[in-house]
Amino acid sequence: MRKVAVVTGASAGIGAATARRLHEAGFTVYAVARRLDRMAALASLGIRTIGADITDDPALVALVDRVIAEAERIDVLVNNAGYGSFGAVEDVALDEARRQFEVNVLGAARLCQLVLPYMRAQGCGRIINVSSVGAKMYQPMGGWYHATKYALEGLSDCLRLELKPHGIDVIIIEPGGVATEFPQVAGERLLATSGHGAYAAYARRYARTLHSEARGISSPDVVARTIARAATARRPRTRYPVGRGARAVVLARWLLPDRVYDRLLVSVFGLLTRITAGRSTG
């Protein structure tokens, strides 16, 4: 019997690449995203595509019901759907902060709740949560995004212990710099939120950095290959840092005390100078 995988956020980037890799590995793959039209290329390969919003509970229930009705099992859930909404904590509206938690954390948690009864009945399964090296570090203007990734990893760690007696693995993927829509979307939201006012100087500088990071970074397929390996390994690791700079960030946070790391960020981004300049010019 073919194993069955569900991949969210599959309309582009890491999610689309992961759906293809798992399909090539012999899985029956259900690719899920809000934009069904963006998954036409996946459908042409024989991947089953479903349009669903990760924050729409009835849609998630219908998704899992359909997979069970058609395939009778779920072996792997890849919680990849997510986005980055950047801006100073003071500037970001709480409705936007809540939405980021709904997408990045609660949507993944709800899908876990829905698939786990079937995985427990099978006595096996794997939940692969796509986090970020942003769960290991921090930077100004990314407070709400980093908070969601810290939360997702904490949830995953607890879930891993709860599910171990049931034969279910919980695995965290921690991408570093990956060529997706993330830098552009994050940069645009950053400028819209904090491009004017008290944090404008740094917001503009960091937005330029985000756009420049979109060049010369790892392909989404690098992450997809790692996810496929985690889905098929006999004994998968609990965490997989992957992509440009991921391992370096993990090592730096392990070695450097917080205040040293703070000074490093100030040095790299010129934060204090830029904020002072912004104040002096009004």
CA distances from 214 to 104, 209, 236 (A): 21, 9, 30
Active site residue 83: no
Among the listed residues 149, 199, 206, 218, the single catalytic one is: 149
Alpha-carbon dihedral angle through residues 145, 119, 62, 21, given to the nearest 10 degrees: 60
Active site residue 164: no
Among the listed residues 11, 85, 131, 194, the single catalytic one is: 131
Provide φ and ψ at 43, rounded to 5°: -60, -35
Active site residue 145: yes
Among the listed residues 30, 138, 145, 206, the single catalytic one is: 145
Q: What string of DSSP letters covers the chain?
A: ---EEEEESTTSHHHHHHHHHHHHTT-EEEEEES-GGGGHHHHHTT-EEEE--TT-HHHHHHHHHHHHHHHS---EEEE-------S-TTTS-HHHHHHHHIIIIIHHHHHHHHHHHHHHHHT-EEEEEE--GGGT---TT-HHHHHHHHHHHHHHHHHHHHHGGGTEEEEEEEE-BB-SSHHHHHHHHHHHHHSSSTTHHHHHHHHHHHHHHTSS-B-HHHHHHHHHHHHH-SS--SEEEESBTHHHHHHHHHHS-HHHHHHHHHHHHTHHHHHHHHHHT-
Residues with a catalytic annotation lie at 131, 145, 149
